Each structure stands twice: as C-alpha cells, then as structure tokens.
C-alpha cells in the first residue's frame, strides 16, 4: 500500500511539474530566412504568446551571427530582434533559444549563402515590353487548388466578382505564348494570400506578406515560375502593397503596437487627394486623412511612421527579391503611403540592388503632380521620393480620349493633339526613360471597349505603345482586343477569363491557329511590332521630335546618331498624304525606308496613308 501511495505521489509531482511548464509556441518569425552578405540590416519580428517575458539567444555562437538587441513591443506577444551577420559568417541553420526560468525552447532559423551576383541583378528598362497578368483570370493549371480548406472564399467561375481558379501553374503553362508575343517582362497582380470573404481574386488585400495564396500555388512554385520565366528571357515584376493590409491578416487580432495601423474613432476613408503632399496651400488635416485614412473597410491603412513596421517592409521587399530572384517591383497606390518613410523604403531596396527598378502607381492626370513622385525630381519642397519609375497616366488618358475622338470629332486640342500635348510637357520629368506607358490596365476600361471593337484604332494604340518613349505595358488579352463582358459592371467584367485557360473551354486563344477575324488581325500586328521593338535601340533610348497638326494626324520621329524611325498616325476616316517636306529638319536626305509592318520599301515623297491607320518607317543614316 505504501508503494502505491509513493507512486501516486511521484506521478502527482511529475504532473504538477508538467503543468507548471508554460505553454510556448513560436507562431511567426519574419523574415522567414536570411542570407550572408546582405546590405540590409536584419531585424526579426517574433510572434509568440508571452514572448516578451523570455530571454533569447542565438546558437551556435562564434559563427558570425550575433544577437545585437531586443526590442519589446506594446503587445507582450512580440519582440523585435536585431541580428548582425558578418561578411564571413557561416551559412546554415541557427537556433533561436527562448528561455524562461528553467524552461528552454528552440526554433531553427536559416542563414543561407547568397546567390552569386545577386546584388548586381538587372531590372526592367525601356528595352522591355511588360505584359500584365491577373492570375485568377489567366489560366487554371491546377484545378485541385481552386478552393482550399485553409482559405475562406471558394471558386465560382460563374460569378465575375469571385475567384475563377487561375493560378501560377497556369501562368507557367503559357509562358511560351507570352514570350512569342514579344513580351520581355511580366507583371502579375499580387499573388500573396488574400483571405477576404469576397473579391479576394484581385490580391490587393494582403493577409500574409510571406505566403503565396494557396489557391495560386506555393512559395516554391512561385520561385519555379520565376526560374521558368528567366529561361525564356522574361523578367518578373512583383506587385506589392505596403499602403494597406487586410483586416484578415493574422496580426490584426493582436497588433504589435497600437499605431501599427492608423486608428480612428470611427471608420474614416482616405480622401484620395494626394495633391496634399505637394500643395503649399493644403491643410494638415487633409494631408493626414489622405495618407492615414483607410483604402477600404477591410483594408487597414499601415502606419509607415512606425519604425518597426518600416523595417519590416524593407526586409520583406528584399527577402522576396533574394528568395525568388525577382527583377523588379510595381508598388500599388504609391502616394497614399507616408511619403518620407516610403522614400527611405525605396532607398533601402536600391542600396541592396543598385540596378533594380521600382515603378510606382501614381494615378493622376496632372503632369506636375506625377513628376513630383519620380526620384531625383527638382521639387520645390526638397522632397526626393527615391522612386525610380512612375506610371504615365496623363499619356494613358490622352491616348484613350483620342481613340474616341477619331475622324474630325471634337475640336481644337482634341484627338491626336492630346497625345502631342502630353509629350510637349516632357520637360517637366526628371527621367523619361523610367516611365511606364500604357493604354489600359486591370483597373481601367478595356482598351478594346474604348476603341469600340475597331481593330484599326486598336492597332493605332499598339503602334503608339511600341514607338513612344518609355516602357510599354499591355494588359493580358489586349493583343487579341478582349472586351468586357458587361462594361457597366466595372472591374470584375473587364477582368475576363482567357479562353483556353480552363479545361472545357470551347476555344483556345493561346493557340495562334485558332485566332480568327479581328483577334487574329490585332494579334498578328502586335506580334510583329513588339518583336521588332525588341532590338530597336533607337526606340529604347532615342530622342523624340514631333510635329503639331490640327487635322487629327500626328507625326513624330525617334532618332539617334545612326537610326531614324518615323511614325505617322492618321486618326481620321480620310486618306492623308504625308507632308514630307514639312519635316525637313530630320527628313532631309531620307527619301525611302522600310515599312516596319510589311517589310516593303517606302518612298516618302507623296506617300499616302490609309484612313485610321499608322505608318511606321525605319531608316538608317
């Protein structure tokens, strides 16, 4: 009996000891990993219940990886850990050891070897043609991940506002189509987890900054996608959103700091007036609401004035470049971020990758306001964004308006004069080579709708994209003149599925042999001109000389010391004769050249141009 009582007492003591041991689980350590030889300082954000009470050390010691500081957050469930990695540190797995009294918990963290020449990676330039994909609507390469147990919204292809099942595998499957078209870079809308209950397909409401949405694939599959792109000489531009995160993000239930996001007594939306950033007359309250108001009720506005959050986003950007071998970033809603922290963010990324390119979405029709946001611009307030590239929305607006003012519709200052007027303001910009030009994207009406299904006007748009200064970007399907299924219903119906991207589709437009009529006409034209553009240095870096006319035509030259390309746009329903002598300051001595589209010789004197068409002629001199 005594032995039984002793055994019971021993079991009770052991059970009590187990119960006394605190429950501890490291939920998140971000960045997920790091590399030897990085310029960006490493500060780990560690999330675990009660972690602020624990001591932390990094083992093994003496290998060049040292803990330099620990910072507590307002929430006891976070700490921020500064880690120094010497240039000769040993790559491998390290242990983060958490200690509370006699209790120790280990977490493995990897410091890897850095990719050779990673720092010197090249990025997208004026030599590139950027193809924009909305992955959910492009191609479904793996039907098994259309809906997943760990995400809220399920696939429903019959609803234009819901997920349709396109994914990374679908993108990989059709890279040859994209490369054959003449594209040299791909920008896809965000692929990170968006776990909203509805309309999560667009990806702009991030629920986890380090996780590819499982309905698209995995981090590993994204990495393979980049590898497959590079095999085909396609650069990869990642779309990122530091301005706002989803309220479904894991941290939102327990923020590290109260000011991690902008807090309001009641829901307050941004006033969308980013002119308050440079307007000397703007009130401080208007500026504060612009940059601190929420983008939407489910899109919490991030506070980049919080130094830990800013460090988080700097490392996050660098981590994805290094992990996936990226070639560039596109930053969504750029001016809605706090401008000084975002300037520091851009500078940090560029210090890690000096040849890298970042293009910001600055959606304004005001040329001076757009110019303000390009790094190096001589702003009166001394502000430098350090943002290398900007998206040319004034040109976007002018081209689209001109396509509705064809023939002699409208009056003075309309039609092709709009394009002339926008380019006449090029003196305002700091760097014309770092401007992304487009006639449409995933947020604007389909250019095929703007052109009312007229392939002649669509080819004018394509010719402008291929020959004007800057980096051309085209939305998927515009090469086939896709149109919205119902223009009155906005975004969901312009983001149409690519026929052939889903099993059971009656047509496969990834197969050129199935192109018919207008789609074949427009595709063949795009294919011809964009593949020609690839090797035309004069288009990539040449100067522009243009001539004003009030008859809805537009003439301009792209030229350098050895080559000349002449472009004549006839945006009317009448045949026009090119007034070659009028362009004598550059046309003198150029009597004949080669038609870029047909390959035939063109004699310029008395050359007539058909209605609603473009003539592109290249010369050597």
Do 492 and 592 lie in one domain? The reply is no
Query: How far is it, in rounded angstroms, from Cα 501 to Cα 427?
Result: 44
Q: Is the pLDDT of residue 15 over 60?
A: no
Range of the domain at 556: 543-620
Q: Is 231 exposed, middle or buried (0-12, 13-18, 19+ CB in 10 A)?
A: exposed
Q: Which residues partner with 568 through β-bridges?
A: 555, 615
- Residue 18: what pLDDT? 46
Q: Which residues contact 11 (CB under 8 A, 6 or more apart)?
A: none
Q: Does 55 map to a domain? A: yes
- For residues 193 and 236, state if they share a domain: yes
392 and 503 in a common domain: yes
Q: Quick one: the chain helix, strand, coil %, rounded to 5? A: 35, 25, 45
- Is residue 390, in this structure, part of any structural domain at all? yes
- Domains identified in the chain, total number: 3
pLDDT(92) > 50: yes
| Cα 553–Cα 366–Cα 336 angle in degrees, nearest 5 | 140
Of 466, 361, 458, 391, the residue nearest 129 (C-alpha): 466
| Residues paired with residue 389 on neighbouring β-strands, in sequence order | 359
Indicate if 200 and 338 belong to the same structural domain. yes
Among residues 153, 196, 213, 361, the one annotated as catalytic is 361
CA distance 72 to 237: 35
Q: Are residues 369 and 451 in the same domain?
A: yes
Angstrom distance (rounded) from CA 416 to CA 410: 11
Distance between CA 285 and CA 266 in Å, rounded? Answer: 16
Q: Are strands 78-85 and 42-48 parallel, antiparallel or unpaired?
A: antiparallel
pLDDT of residue 21: 64
> Picking from 11-25, 64-78, 135-149, 179-193, which range would have the lowest pLDDT averaged per residue?
11-25
Q: With bands split at pLDDT 50, 70 and 90, how would you rate the model's confidence at 7?
A: very low
pLDDT at 361 over 90: yes
Are both 454 and 594 inside the same structural domain? no
User: What is the chain's alpha carbon radius of gyration, rounded to the nearest angstrom?
Assistant: 28
Domain boundary among 535, 565, 581: 535
- Is 286 annotated in the active site? no
Predicted confidence (pLDDT) per residue in 464-503, tens digit: 999 999 999 999 999 999 999 999 888 999 999 999 999 9
The 3-state secondary structure of 104-171, one letter per residue: EEEEEEEEECCCCCCCCCCCCCCCCCEEEECHHHCCCCCHHHCCCCCCCCCCCCCCCCCCCCCCHHHH
> Between β-strands 328-331 and 592-595, what pairing exists: parallel, antiparallel or unpaired?
unpaired
Which pLDDT does position 429 carry in this prediction? 98
Is residue 5 scored above 50 in pLDDT? no
Asked, for residue 296, whether it belongs to a domain, the answer is no
Same domain, 607 and 521: no
Among candidate residues 173, 332, 392, 618, the one labeled active-site is 332
pLDDT digits (tens, 9 = 90+) for 497-528: 999 999 999 999 999 999 999 999 999 999 99
The CA distance from 429 to 259, in Å, is 36
Q: CATH number of the domain that 54 lies in?
A: 2.60.40.10
Question: Which of 501, 535, 569 finishes a domain?
Answer: 535
pLDDT score of 407:
78
Q: Is residue 144 part of a domain?
A: yes
Nearest residue to 303 via CA among 358, 258, 348: 258
In a domain, 273, yes or no: no
Same domain, 530 and 572: no
Domain with residue 410: its CATH number is 3.20.20.80
| Rounded distance between C-alpha atoms, residue 138 and residue 500, angstroms | 9
Residues 195 and 235 reside in one and the same domain: yes
pLDDT over 60 (residue 12): no
pLDDT band of 412, cuts 50, 70, 90: confident
| Band of pLDDT at residue 20, cut at 50, 70 and 90 | low
Based on the fold, state whether residues 106 and 163 are members of the same structural domain. Answer: no
Give the contacts of 598 (CB within 8 A, at least 6 positions apart).
Answer: none
Residue 452 annotated to the active site = no
Q: Long-range contacts: 578-582, Cβ < 8 Å, 24+?
A: 578/604, 578/606, 578/607, 578/608, 578/609, 578/615, 580/604, 580/605, 580/606, 580/607, 582/547
Mean pLDDT of the chain, nearest integer: 95
Separation between Cα atoms, residue 70 and residue 108, nearest integer Å? 18
Do 91 and 139 sit in the same domain of this protein? Answer: no
Q: Are residues 223 and 101 in the same domain?
A: no
Give the percent of the chain with pLDDT over 90. 94
Task: Give the CATH number of the domain where residue 614 resides.
Answer: 2.60.40.1180
Q: Is residue 1 part of a domain?
A: no
Stretch 26-45: mean pLDDT: 98
Last residue of a domain, one of 46, 78, 112: 112
User: What region, left, alpha or beta, does residue 223 occupy, with left being phi > 0 and alpha being psi -120 to 50 degrees?
Assistant: alpha
pLDDT at 550: 87
**Residue 102 in this model has a pLDDT that exceeds 50:** yes
> What letter does residue 41 receive in the DSSP assignment?
P
Asked, for residue 210, whether it belongs to a domain, the answer is: yes
Residue 162 pLDDT: 97
Say if 2 falls within a structural domain. Answer: no
Contact yes or no for 463/563 (Cβ under 8 A): no
């Amino acid at each position: 009996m005594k032995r039984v009582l002793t055994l019971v007492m021993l079991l009770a003591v052991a059970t009590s000891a187990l119960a006394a041991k605190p429950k501890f689980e490291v939920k998140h350590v971000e960045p997920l990993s790091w590399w030897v030889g990085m310029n960006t300082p490493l500060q780990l954000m560690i999330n675990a219940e009660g972690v602020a009470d624990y001591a932390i050390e990094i083992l093994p010691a003496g290998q060049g990886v040292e803990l330099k500081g620990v910072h507590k957050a307002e929430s006891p469930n976070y700490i921020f850990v500064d880690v120094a990695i010497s240039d000769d540190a040993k790559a491998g797995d390290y242990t983060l050891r958490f200690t509370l009294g006699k209790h120790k918990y280990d977490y493995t963290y990897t410091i890897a070897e850095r990719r050779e020449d990673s720092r010197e990676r090249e990025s997208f330039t004026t030599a590139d043609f950027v193809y924009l994909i909305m992955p959910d609507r492009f191609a479904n390469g793996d039907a098994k991940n259309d809906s997943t147990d760990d995400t809220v919204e399920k696939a429903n292809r019959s609803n234009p506002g819901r997920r349709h099942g396109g994914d990374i595998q679908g993108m990989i499957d059709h890279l040859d189509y994209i490369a054959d078209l003449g594209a040299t870079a791909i920008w896809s809308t965000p692929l990170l987890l968006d776990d909203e209950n509805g309309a999560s397909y667009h990806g702009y409401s991030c629920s986890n900054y380090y996780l590819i949405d499982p309905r698209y694939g995995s981090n590993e599959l994204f990495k393979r996608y980049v590898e497959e792109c590079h095999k085909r000489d396609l650069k990869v531009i990642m779309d990122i959103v530091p301005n706002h995160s989803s309220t479904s993000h894991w941290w939102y239930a327990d923020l590290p700091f109260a000011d991690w996001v902008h807090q309001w007594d009641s829901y307050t939306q941004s006033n969308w007036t980013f002119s308050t950033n440079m307007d000397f007359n703007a009130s401080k309250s208007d500026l504060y609401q612009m940059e601190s108001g929420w983008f939407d009720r489910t899109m919490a506005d991030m506070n980049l004035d919080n130094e830990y959050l800013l460090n988080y986003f700097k490392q996050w950007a660098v981590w994805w470049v290094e992990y996936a071998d990226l070639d560039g970033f596109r930053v969504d809603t750029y001016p809605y971020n706090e401008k000084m922290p975002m300037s520091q963010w851009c500078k940090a990324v560029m210090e890690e990758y000096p040849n890298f390119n970042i293009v910001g979405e600055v959606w304004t029709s005001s040329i001076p306001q757009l110019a303000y946001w390009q790094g190096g611009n001589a702003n009166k307030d001394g502000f430098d964004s350090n943002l290398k590239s900007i998206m040319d929305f004034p040109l976007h607006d002018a081209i689209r308006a001109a396509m509705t003012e064809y023939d002699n519709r409208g009056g003075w200052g309309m039609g092709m004069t709009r394009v002339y007027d926008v380019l006449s303001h090029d003196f305002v910009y700091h760097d014309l080579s770092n401007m992304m030009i487009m006639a449409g994207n995933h947020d604007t009406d389909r250019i095929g709708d703007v052109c009312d299904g007229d392939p002649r006007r669509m080819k004018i748009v394509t010719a402008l994209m291929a020959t004007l200064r800057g980096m051309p970007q085209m939305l998927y399907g515009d090469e086939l003149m896709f149109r919205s299924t119902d223009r009155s219903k906005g975004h969901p119906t312009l983001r149409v599925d690519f026929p052939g991207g889903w099993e059971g589709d009656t047509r496969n437009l990834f197969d050129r042999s199935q192109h018919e009529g207008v789609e074949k006409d427009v595709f063949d034209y795009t294919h011809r001109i964009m593949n020609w553009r690839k090797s035309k240095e004069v288009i990539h870096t040449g100067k522009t000389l243009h001539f004003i006319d009030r008859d809805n035509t537009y003439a301009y030259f792209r030229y350098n010391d050895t080559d000349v390309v002449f472009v004549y746009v006839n945006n009317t329903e009448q045949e026009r004769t090119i007034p070659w002598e009028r362009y004598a300051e550059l046309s003198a001595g150029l009597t004949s050249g080669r038609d870029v589209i047909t390959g035939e010789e063109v004699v310029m004197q008395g050359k007539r141009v058909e209605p609603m068409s473009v003539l592109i002629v290249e010369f050597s001199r």
